[in-house]
């Protein structure tokens, strides 16, 4: 069997499994998830053994220390994975919700009801905990999952998926399909385009990782992809802002966790308040050793001997404004007014999360209406764009696309719907 045939068989099995999964009752899915959590906790030793093989692979591949750390599973991380499954079991079932219910003049009753999407491919990088996390969300929403993690995590990922499926079988017997959760069994990179050409079996692909991975997947895929290229988020400090609030929001958005996609990369400051705001900001960010990349106006103010920004301060290049640093680096730009700030965001933003700080409600309303991002904020840190913070309970990713789902994606976003029409012999005139 060649690779294309192998992928076709894999995907066809997922498609068949998806029909069975779509019919599981909420209690069945939850029982399976709880059994899976127990099985992961009971398997700490063999899972760590599988993970040690991966760590050896990782070492031979010359992974960085940070990547090795993401790859490693210790008992604490395994228990956290198990707890994640229990948390998903506790969430409401997204399948079978009635989105619409209408009776037409002819007596035909139409209900729009949520159903699983079907087969979801998740492509991700090192961290093996994504395996349990993504598979549990897909299972709770009645979908079959095909997982493709990093090649250095293959042993851990296969162990996790097999253990989850075995626990599902023990709990539900034949009603739980073997192919509910599958890991692509080969590290061959050609498996991805082969899998993502199978539009008859795969309903959605969600790549999770760096921009390069996501662009490659999108380019290769014939099946629909929901993605999140990058998070270039802005804090716009309007002339009418409470500047102390602006400092707190900017500090939080930049430094609370710089590696996240909802961290801020650029602050835009109205010219009218730049000479007051920037020295205050500099004092705060210097204490966190944030590098500032400034436009000429900001550079002049920040270079003033009275400020003398003690950390790195360099001129911003135009391409800096397009960067997701994921680091303690911040672009600083002085703008004339709201339209200039919005023009900057339109040109350089990634349509992820952007915030305005102002006391002027009219200006804020215009910003919220015209900035076309997944999340737009007024007097709030951009760091809140997150399924947990939004009250979704869990998150499979954040979409910067506009079709199907935008912003944090929880269980509801893993569903489609169908129309159910019930009548008494109605025919069309």
Minimum Å gap between C-beta 212 and a copy of itself is 16
- CA-to-CA dists, residue 225 to 123, 246, 346, angstroms: 11, 36, 23
CB-side neighbour CA atoms (13 Å) of 14: 32
Are the C-beta atoms of 132 and 40 separated by less than 8 Å?
yes
Asked if 347 is part of the footprint of a copy of itself (rule: CB under 8 A), the reply reads no
DSSP for 274-310, written as a single string: HHHHHHHHHHHHHTTT-EEEE-HHHHHHHHSTTT---
* Binding residue (CB under 8 A) for a copy of itself from 48, 131, 373, 400: 373
Name the segment binding a copy of itself (CB under 8 A); options: 288-296, 299-307, 314-322, 377-385: 377-385
* Binding residue (CB under 8 A) for a copy of itself from 187, 210, 224, 279: 224
Minimum Å gap between C-beta 97 and a copy of itself is 13
Q: Which of residues 125-184 bind a copy of itself (CB under 8 A)?
A: none
Are the C-beta atoms of 29 and 165 separated by less than 8 Å?
no
* Binding residue (CB under 8 A) for a copy of itself from 9, 23, 289, 317: 23
Name the segment binding a copy of itself (CB under 8 A); options: 68-76, 112-120, 146-154, 187-195: 112-120
**Contact code string over 40-79 relative to a copy of itself, x by CB under 8 A:** ----------------------------------------
Asked if 27 is part of the footprint of a copy of itself (rule: CB under 8 A), the reply reads no
Tokens for 205, please give them.
Answer: 């692909």
Distance CA 225, CA 207 (A): 8
List all residues 6 or more positions away from 375 whose beta carbon is below 8 Å from its beta carbon: 352, 353, 354, 382, 384, 385, 407
Distance CA 292, CA 7 (A): 48
- Number of residues that make up the chain: 429
**Contact code string over 174-213 relative to a copy of itself, x by CB under 8 A:** -----------------------------xx---------
Nearest to a copy of itself of 71, 409 (CB atom): 409
Asked if 420 is part of the footprint of a copy of itself (rule: CB under 8 A), the reply reads yes
Pairing of strands 264-270, 329-335: parallel
Asked if 389 is part of the footprint of a copy of itself (rule: CB under 8 A), the reply reads yes
Q: List phi, psi (to 5°) of 277.
A: -70, -45
Treating both helix axes as pointing N-terminal to C-terminal, what angle do 75-90 and 44-60 enclose, rounded to 10 degrees? 120
Asked if 425 is part of the footprint of a copy of itself (rule: CB under 8 A), the reply reads yes
Name the segment binding a copy of itself (CB under 8 A); options: 18-26, 36-44, 294-302, 333-341: 18-26
Minimum Å gap between C-beta 400 and a copy of itself is 11
Burial class (CB in 10 A: 0-12, 13-18, 19+), 110: middle
Minimum Å gap between C-beta 367 and a copy of itself is 10
Find, among 9, 7, 15, 399, the residue nearest to 193 by Cα. 7
Chain residues in the site for a copy of itself (CB under 8 A): 19, 22-23, 102, 104, 108, 110, 115, 117-118, 203-204, 218-219, 222, 224, 226, 242, 245, 248-249, 251-253, 256, 346, 364, 368-370, 372-381, 383-385, 389-391, 401-404, 406-407, 416-428
């Amino acid at each position: 069997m060649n690779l294309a045939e192998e992928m076709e068989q894999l995907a066809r099995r997922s498609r068949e499994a998806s029909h069975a999964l779509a019919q599981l009752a909420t209690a069945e899915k939850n029982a399976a998830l709880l059994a899976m959590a127990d099985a992961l906790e009971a398997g700490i030793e063999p899972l760590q053994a599988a993970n040690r093989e991966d760590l050896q692979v990782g070492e031979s591949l010359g992974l960085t220390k940070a990547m090795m750390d993401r790859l490693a599973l210790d008992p604490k991380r395994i228990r956290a994975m198990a707890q994640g499954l229990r948390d998903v079991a506790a969430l409401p079932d997204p399948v079978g919700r009635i989105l619409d219910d209408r009776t037409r003049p002819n007596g035909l009753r139409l209900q729009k009801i949520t159903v699983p999407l079907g087969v979801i491919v998740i492509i991700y990088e090192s961290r093996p905990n994504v395996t349990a996390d993504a598979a549990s969300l897909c299972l709770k929403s009645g979908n079959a999952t095909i997982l493709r993690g990093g090649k250095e995590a293959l042993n851990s990922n296969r162990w996790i998926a097999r253990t989850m499926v075995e626990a599902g079988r023990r709990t539900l017997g034949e009603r739980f399909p073997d192919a509910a959760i599958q890991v692509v069994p080969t590290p061959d990179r050609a498996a991805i385009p082969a899998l993502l050409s199978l539009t008859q079996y795969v309903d959605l692909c969600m790549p999770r990782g760096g921009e390069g991975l996501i662009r490659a997947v999108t380019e290769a895929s014939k099946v629909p992809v929901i993605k999140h290229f990058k998070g270039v988020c802005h804090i716009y400090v309007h002339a009418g802002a409470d500047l102390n609030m602006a400092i707190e929001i900017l500090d939080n958005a930049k430094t609370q966790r710089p590696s996240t996609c909802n961290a801020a990369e650029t602050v835009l400051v109205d010219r009218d308040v730049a000479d007051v705001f920037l020295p205050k900001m500099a004092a705060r960010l210097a204490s966190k050793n944030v590098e500032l990349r400034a436009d000429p106006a900001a550079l002049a103010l920040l270079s003033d001997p009275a400020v003398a920004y003690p950390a790195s301060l360099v001129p911003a290049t135009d391409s800096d404004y397009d960067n997701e640093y994921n680091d303690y680096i911040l672009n600083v730009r002085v703008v004339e007014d709201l339209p200039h700030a919005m023009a900057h965001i339109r040109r350089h933003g990634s349509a992820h999360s952007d915030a305005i700080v102002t006391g002027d409600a009219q200006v804020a309303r215009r910003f919220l209406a015209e900035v076309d991002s997944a999340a737009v904020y007024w007097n709030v840190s951009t760091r809140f764009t997150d399924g947990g913070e939004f009250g979704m309970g869990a998150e499979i990713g954040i979409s910067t696309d506009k079709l199907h789902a935008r912003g944090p994606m929880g269980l509801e976003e893993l569903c489609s719907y169908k129309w159910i029409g019930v009548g008494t012999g109605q025919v069309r005139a």
